Amino acid sequence: MEQSDTIERSLVIGASGQIGTELILKLGELHGAENVVAADIRPPASEELSNFTYEHLNILNDEQLKEVIARHNITTVYLLAAMLSATAEQQPERAWDLNMVGLFNVLNLAKDKVIKKVFWPSSIAVFGPSTPSENTPQTTVCEPNTVYGISKLAGERWCEYYHANYGVDVRSIRYPGLIGYKSAPGGGTTDYAVDIYYKALEEKPFTCFLNEDTRLPMMLMEDAIQATIQLMTSPAEKLSVRSSYNISGMDFTPKEIAASIQNHIPSFAIDYAPDFRQKIADSWPSSIDDRVANKDWGWKASYDLDRLTEVMLQEVAKKKMKLETL
């Protein structure tokens, strides 16, 4: 296959994950499915992924990564494979390995000019208990006290370092809690805000693992994908941040999301049984200042809590109906 300078060929690593499942569809729309390759250590998570070439890939295997990139003439890598906050607390060293070694493997390929561009997601988890928690600024105290947060902060520093010292075009976003209906999240502290919609539609009470007034920054997946594409298509000279950009969508507490569901399903009941994830959530900001992303590449979220609830209830209901008719 001939490599053209103008054609962007992307590899999405973690294509069966929460972000990957949706991002790959958008990249397929923009560049053509033939120019986007899916990779994951797991089998394809959805039928829609069958339009894409699928590679079984372990990101810790550098040789395999190189081989896949060469075989498909990849120019851009989206490295989405990671262990999220709650799971990482249970397996600290494995999480560090998975979250860091994969990043080095990809950054080194960009340093060696094998690929041109890298996207790597960071998180609000880079912040910690000593960070100002309301309207957390782009540049502020970052003393994370979770395994996941430590790995994301280290990753951000390496991204900036590779950009400054080796000219690597790496771009990153500090995602808030992401809420989508296409694939299930796994092992995150913000996942309750996805599960709650499934329980509400099953007409079952929901037991939340965070207490009722834990306020966290959140975002509908549509907005997160939009932000990712906007950042990746911005001219390099506009980007003043090469660690990772703050972006904000909405923020709410479990009590507020429950109330927004009760506007549609008045009988919906919630109770609270905080577990070890409460401590993780308590260390994170309650809202995010994203003015730098707005200034540099025009970021602005479209969805608030009411619209999020409308979309989630509608789409999860459709998904359930489809499953029931199979």
Q: Which residues contact ligand SER (rule: CB under 6 A)?
A: 84-85, 123-125, 148, 175, 177-178, 188-190
Identity at 130, one-letter amino acid code: S
CB 106 within 8 A of CB 60: no
CA distance 98 to 41: 12
Nearer to ligand SER, 84 or 247 (CB): 84
Task: Go through the chain and tell me how many residues it has.
Answer: 326
Least distance from ligand SER to the Cβ atom of residue 82, Å: 9
Contacts of 310 (CB under 8 A, 6+ apart): 264
Nearer to ligand SER, 8 or 156 (CB): 156
Nearest CA among 144, 154, 54, 56 for reference residue 99:
154
Residue at shortest CB range from ligand SER: 188
Least distance from ligand SER to the Cβ atom of residue 78, Å: 16
Active site residue 148: yes
Nearer to ligand SER, 148 or 297 (CB): 148
Distance, CA of 21 to chain centre: 11
Least distance from ligand SER to the Cβ atom of residue 237, Å: 29
Nearer to ligand SER, 85 or 287 (CB): 85
The single residue of 148, 175, 181, 245 carrying the catalytic annotation is 148
Nearer to ligand SER, 28 or 128 (CB): 128
- Which helix (H) or strand (E) segment holds residue 70: the answer is helix 62-71
CA distance 178 to 250: 11
**DSSP secondary structure letter of residue 123:** E
For every residue of 25-58, DSSP letters joined together read HHHHHHH-GGGEEEEESSPPSSGGGGGSEEEE--
CA distance 11 to 22: 14
For the record, the structure tokens of 109 come out as: 């390929």
Least distance from ligand SER to the Cβ atom of residue 19, Å: 10
Least distance from ligand SER to the Cβ atom of residue 172, Å: 12
Active site amino acids: 148
